[in-house]
Amino acid sequence: MEVIPAIDLLEGRCVRLYQGDYAQAETFDENPVSVARQWAEQGATRLHVVDLDGAKAGHPVNLQAIEAIVRAVDVPIQVGGGLRDRASAAALLQLGVQRIILGTVAVEQPTLVHELCQAFPDQVVVGIDARNGMVATRGWLETSEVAAIDLAQQMTAFGIAAIIYTDIHRDGTLQGPNLTALRELASGVAVPVIASGGMSSVTDLLSLLALEPLGVTGAIVGRALYTGDIVLKEALRAVGQGRWQDIPPDFGSSALA
């Protein structure tokens, strides 16, 4: 299972939001490139970059910072935030981004997701950000009437490479992942699922190993890395040594609510 550091960009800075609230943005570093290098040096095999300005604006905004990150590290980069047309998606891939993450358009323009999957095979990931089981869009500022599991199954049929599932109520809270929602989602689709939101400790990461047989192949970690609650090297070692067969069924049950 991959442990994937998150780099959220707001006005060129590396920040973390609390439950997706732009008004509760905490700056952790003014230089996202140095942050990317730090995670790569500590062993990250992939980086998750979110253009928060882009998510709100509806088009990529932090392209300069994203390109600088791509040039600075030798690990694959996946990027989301404001990708709502083919030109924006293509522009990011031309910068050297390995995978693009589509969110709002999966709900509002599903045919575009299908077209992009055909144009860029194995490079399209769908981010499903849920609030009480319903999909949120437009930088989490709106909540749709589409259930997360229904959207996941529709997108899987289009040939996406993976799904990133974020429980908005857990994001930035250090309360642990929503294992129940992750289990339901992973059981209902045939593509890899990457967990996001609420990771607070190595114990939370190890709890996800119990879902690995269902297809949960990675975890995105944000705030906990920046606060020091999770040390990347230690997390990578622990997850690498852990086996899902050794995890009891009720491990991490405190995060099931």
Does residue 7 contact residue 49 with C-beta atoms inside 8 Å? Answer: yes
Work out the average pLDDT over 89-114: 95
The residue whose two tokens read 């994001």 is: 171
End-to-end CA distance of the chain: 23
Q: Which residue has the higher pLDDT, 90 or 130?
A: 90
Is 129 labeled as catalytic in the residue annotation? yes
Work out the average pLDDT over 232-245: 82
- Distance of alpha carbon 47 from alpha carbon 36, whole angstroms: 8
**% of the chain at pLDDT higher than 70:** 89
- Distance of alpha carbon 203 from alpha carbon 113, whole angstroms: 35
- Distance of alpha carbon 210 from alpha carbon 200, whole angstroms: 17
Please report the pLDDT score of residue 104 as a whole number: 86
Lowest mean pLDDT among 102-106, 166-170, 182-186, 223-227: 166-170
Give CA separation, 70 vs 38, 75, 80, 117, 165, in Å: 14, 8, 14, 22, 24
* CATH pick for 2-255 out of 3.40.50.300, 2.30.300.10, 3.20.20.70, 3.40.720.10: 3.20.20.70
Task: Provide, for the chain, the percentages of residues in helix, strand and coil under a 3-state DSSP scheme, each rounded to the nearest 5.
Answer: 40, 30, 30
Burial class (CB in 10 A: 0-12, 13-18, 19+), 74: exposed
* pLDDT, tens digit, 9 for 90 and up, residues 139-150: 556 677 899 999
Please report the pLDDT score of residue 256 as a whole number: 32
Residue 29 three-state SS: strand
This prediction has a pTM of 0.88
Q: How confident is the model at residue 16 (pLDDT cuts 50, 70, 90)?
A: confident
φ and ψ at residue 248, rounded to 5 degrees: -65, 150
Rg of the chain over Cα atoms, rounded to whole angstroms, equals 17
Q: Which residue has the higher pLDDT, 144 or 118?
A: 118
Q: Which of 154, 119, 125 is nearest to 50 (CA)?
A: 125
Q: How confident is the model at residue 133 (pLDDT cuts 50, 70, 90)?
A: confident
Mean residue pLDDT across the chain:
88
Q: Which of 51, 129, 167, 204 is catalytic?
A: 129
φ and ψ at residue 194, rounded to 5 degrees: -110, 125
Residue 178 three-state SS: coil
Please report the pLDDT score of residue 139 as a whole number: 59
- The b/e string for 99-123 (b: 16+ C-beta within 10 A; e otherwise) is bbbbbbbbbeebebbbebbeebeeb
Q: Which of 119, 52, 48 is nearest to 89 (CA)?
A: 119
Residue 217 sits at the vertex; the CA angle it makes with 216 and 223, to the nearest 5 degrees, is 90
Is 8 labeled as catalytic in the residue annotation? yes
The residue whose two tokens read 């522009």 is: 91
Please report the pLDDT score of residue 245 as a whole number: 47
Does residue 104 contact residue 57 with C-beta atoms inside 8 Å? Answer: no
